[in-house]
Amino acid sequence: MSDGSEPQTLVLRFRDLATEPGETIERHHAICSSHGRVWWGWWHKAREHVPAPAFEAINRRASQGKVSVYLLNAHEKSVYRATLAEVRWNEETSSFPTPEANLTPEYYRGRRCKAWFLLTDLQPQPVPFDPLAALVQVSVPDFFRGEEPPEFASLNGTALHGPDALDEQNRTIWFVRTPVPGESPREPDAPIPRSRAYSGPHDDDSSFQSQYFPTEGRRLLWLSDLHFAEGPHRDRHGFAYQKDETPYEPNLHQQLEWVLSEHEALVDIEGLIISGDITWKAHASEFSAARTFIRELIAKTGKTDQPERVALCPGNHDLRFSDKPWEKGHPIVASSAAARHEYETFYRRLFSKPPNQFLSMGRRFLLGGAIPVEIVCLNSSLLQQDAGVFQGHGFIGQPQLRHAAAEAGWRARGVGADEPRAVRIVVVHHHLLPVIDQLRPERQGHYSTPLDAEALSRWLVKHRVDLVLHGHMHQPFCVEVHRGESLTTPRDQWHTFTVCGLGSSGVAADHRPPSTPNLVATLQFNSRSVTIEMFAVSSDGTQLPKHAEFEVPIHRAI
């Protein structure tokens, strides 16, 4: 680069994904205020690469104390300013830990980034956009894997406009400079397009995606029965919390990062599935802890477009029909509307839109740019509850099943039809099949399978679902089912699907079967199968071996 075209400073894009709104700046400023400096990690996008020559040019200026760097909050469309002391990366351009853990906010202190920015004089309040409006963009082809997209190459020498225009570019760093003498900043030739990758549904009234979300990797992360708990039931969640005064004990997302990194799976995670019981008693503070956990977990995978990557369903603990939802026989005292209020609030804050009437949802991934995967999450705690009668039993209902099939575009296909189609997954909280060796006989007893389990099974066959994922009894489980839609279905038209239960990812030991650890799982998709790997996570940081692995065939899928 010649001096006239070298970048002189940076605009770093961020969102409050791993924190509550406003806390990204607050936490970095607190460290900067106490220690005079703070490390800011680069949460790059998959197509972005370390541009060593551009960073070297910035470091030369930073060594002379000349670089004011700008931080763009893409959600709030606000700009903050700091002084850049150094950009640090490694020669292999691979991810590495923060250079100084004590100068990095705790919530991502264990994260590995491809670059770290040492900031001083970080201002806690937004600044006007005016200083940025006087700068022009610099094209840095090395910033992208492969060729620089033409829509960005054409912006070289163009003026910066407001935060909205920058956010539309959907990138994490802008390289900018002041115009050289006599240079007049150009206006863009055309409106700046968003990233060519699908960025999510545009229909705010639907919880089901209508388009596929393309990814580079082919792996999804599956969690279940997290059971975040607060107050007198804090010990029901078996891991430390971020705000606990025991930092030597790993919280769940830290343990997840260690385990998945050990198995070289973290960077390949493209989406998150949660099969219910996110909380212990459906309290607002528990859902808040869960929302923070989900944001931090997605951020640790290096992905920033969170909502399109998350698929979840509620469990019976997430719908508060009584003041003791963990006691199955406790009298029902709340109506359906009151029972679902906190889950609806959690959903609305996580996805920036309200849930549908069933609390169901759907996601579509194009994994590895080649394997279409369709996920339908069903609410199996949908019951007409009556005061003083019962709670906790599973029920899905024909209206919900009809609605889900219609919204997912799953028309009924003849059993045995061999036309190409996507891999189909159903996520539900309650068990489709019994998983406990023996239940105790008792008057007014409870059971873990849905009241309409057979109706669900027929629906799965009718719509050629390949895989069912569930939680609920904290017992890992896997079985293959081969059956027809009805008793009269000819044997050569029967359909095969796999039912897999994860157990619990977060509940304390006294709420799990003996010798059963907390488990998390990854789903690795290939053209004809899905490999499900279950990994044990430990609240004391002990590294445990892989718990189980299943190869699930995908019958007649693409």
Residue partners of 521: CB distance under 8 A and separation at least 6: 221, 222, 223, 502, 532, 533, 534, 535
Q: How far apart (Å, rounded) are the C-alpha atoms in residues 342 and 350?
A: 12
Beta partners for 364? Answer: 374
Average pLDDT, the chain: 83
Length of the chain, in residues: 558
pLDDT 10s digits, 505-546:
999 999 999 989 999 999 999 888 999 999 999 988 777 888
pLDDT 10s digits, 345-368:
999 989 888 999 889 999 999 998
| Model pLDDT, residue 204 | 39
Q: How far apart (Å, rounded) are the C-alpha atoms in residues 79 and 12?
A: 10
How is domain 215-436+446-553 classified at the CATH fold level?
Answer: Purple Acid Phosphatase; chain A, domain 2 (3.60.21)
State both tokens at 6: 């070298």
User: At 558, is the pLDDT very low, low, confident or very high (cuts 50, 70, 90)?
Assistant: very low
DSSP 266-320: GGGEEEEEEES--BSS--HHHHHHHHHHHHHHHHHTT----GGGEEEE--GGGS-
The pTM of the full predicted model, rounded to 2 decimals, is 0.67
Task: Look at 3 and 379; give whichever has higher pLDDT.
Answer: 379
Beta partners for 273? Answer: 222, 311
Q: For residue 231, what is the DSSP state?
A: G
pLDDT 10s digits, 137-178:
898 988 887 677 666 777 787 888 777 777 667 688 999 998
| Model pLDDT, residue 393 | 66
Q: How far apart (Å, rounded) are the C-alpha atoms in residues 177 and 4?
A: 9
CA 414 to chain centre: 34
* Mean pLDDT, range 482-506, rounded to an integer: 93
User: At 29, is the pLDDT very low, low, confident or very high (cuts 50, 70, 90)?
Assistant: very high
Question: What HEC string does 467-532 produce?
Answer: EEEECCCCCCEEEEEEECCCCCCCHHHCEEEEEEECCCCCECHHHCCCCCCEEEEEEEECCCEEEE
| Model pLDDT, residue 58 | 95
* Mean pLDDT, range 330-337, rounded to an integer: 51
Helix (H) or strand (E) holding 178: none
Closest CA to 399 of 447, 360, 353: 360
* Mean pLDDT, range 95-111, rounded to an integer: 90
Q: How far apart (Å, rounded) are the C-alpha atoms in residues 268 and 217?
A: 5
Closest CA to 394 of 300, 295, 487, 328: 328
Q: Is there a contact between 536 and 517 (Cβ–Cβ < 8 Å)? A: yes
User: What is the residue extent of each domain of the chain?
Assistant: 9-177, 215-436+446-553
E-only strand ranges, 331-403: 361-367, 371-377
| Model pLDDT, residue 301 | 75
| Model pLDDT, residue 361 | 96
Q: Residue 364 burial by CB count (10 A; 0-12/13-18/19+): exposed, middle or buried?
A: buried
Q: How far apart (Å, rounded) are the C-alpha atoms in residues 38 and 119?
A: 5
Q: How far apart (Å, rounded) are the C-alpha atoms in residues 468 and 375?
A: 10
**Helix axes of 398-408 and 453-462: crossing angle, nearest 10 degrees:** 20
Matching residue, tokens 């900067």: 32
